[in-house]
Structure 1
Amino acid sequence: MNPRITLIQGDITQIKADAIVNAANSSLLGGGGVDGAIHRAGGKKILEECIQIRDRQGKCKTGEAVVTTAGDLPATYVIHTVGPVWNDDEVKGKKLLANCYRNSLQLADSLQIKTIVFPNISTGIYKFPKELAAAIAVHEVQNFESEHIEEVIFVCFDEENNEIYKKQLKLNK
């Protein structure tokens, strides 16, 4: 089944869901933007589990996804995925960003998650073009066949991304 898609403008750390996705950096140790916000709001439990993952596997590669509990967040899990830094290599960038969404969805499905929340991966300090990122995100979600995921929520922190996603979702109906 294809999951239902919902769009919300707001703060991902306030959304109640089975899983929220963190646009992490490869260190998994928190950072700026949504990554820092999730680590701050979720508390030290998330960081402790990220350190355990790093001790086990090393850094998280771009496009991959790993999972921790959500600590103090109103979610059960945080799925951490490392988005690509935009460097004008559109073919490589598109593939890596698509992998972020696909691998996060596959991990969520394997955990039998019903609701998953995505931020705008790589569009902040990583400078991925926002329209292209939204097109990739919507395409990957709409084309993901899931046994368990019933709803995918895109949470846009700002009005600009929210408008881009509104247009993208109308285009792809």
Structure 2
Amino acid sequence: MESHRLDSFALRQQRLRRQLTAVRRQFDEILQRNAISLRRTNVGSEPNNLRNRLDQARQELSESTDDFSEFTRGAHQLNSRLLNAATGTRLRPFADLANGYPRLVRDLARQLGKQARLQIEGERLDVDRDVLLSVDPALMHLLRNSSTTASKRRRYVQQAASRRKD
């Protein structure tokens, strides 16, 4: 996801803000240690001007970092919404595939002179449409085989029972 690249940029901005704060602190420490010698050399307002410029740069960077963090949050939210929308367009209810199965089982049973009923649960379950298309042949095969196998099994059980009686 491209929005994660924004995170690394935001981290670099925060690191730069911390470094600028550390430079400002170090500058103040140097000024305090050398206050007497600076007065003797008559440096004047240069240290204060530099301090003000550091503060201004730190403030601008801080505002920029905050703005960028807000932009990044918005980009992540937009990315999530787009991903959910794209995923949602691929999802179809399982019922789209399974609606014809009860009739298939009922028709197969009638051909075999039996009665059968298929009850499907989870019809509202959303499934990727490619998955639906790929499992359809396998499910049809299972339903056909189970219908004919159940009928054959009953016939074998009946034949075995009639042999025992004889």
TM-score range for the pair, normalised by the shorter chain length: under 0.3
Q: Which has the higher contact order (CA 8 A, sep 6+)?
A: 1
**TM-score w.r.t. structure 2 length?**
0.19
Question: Relative to total residues, which structure has the larger helix share, 1 or 2?
Answer: 2
**TM-score w.r.t. structure 1 length?**
0.19
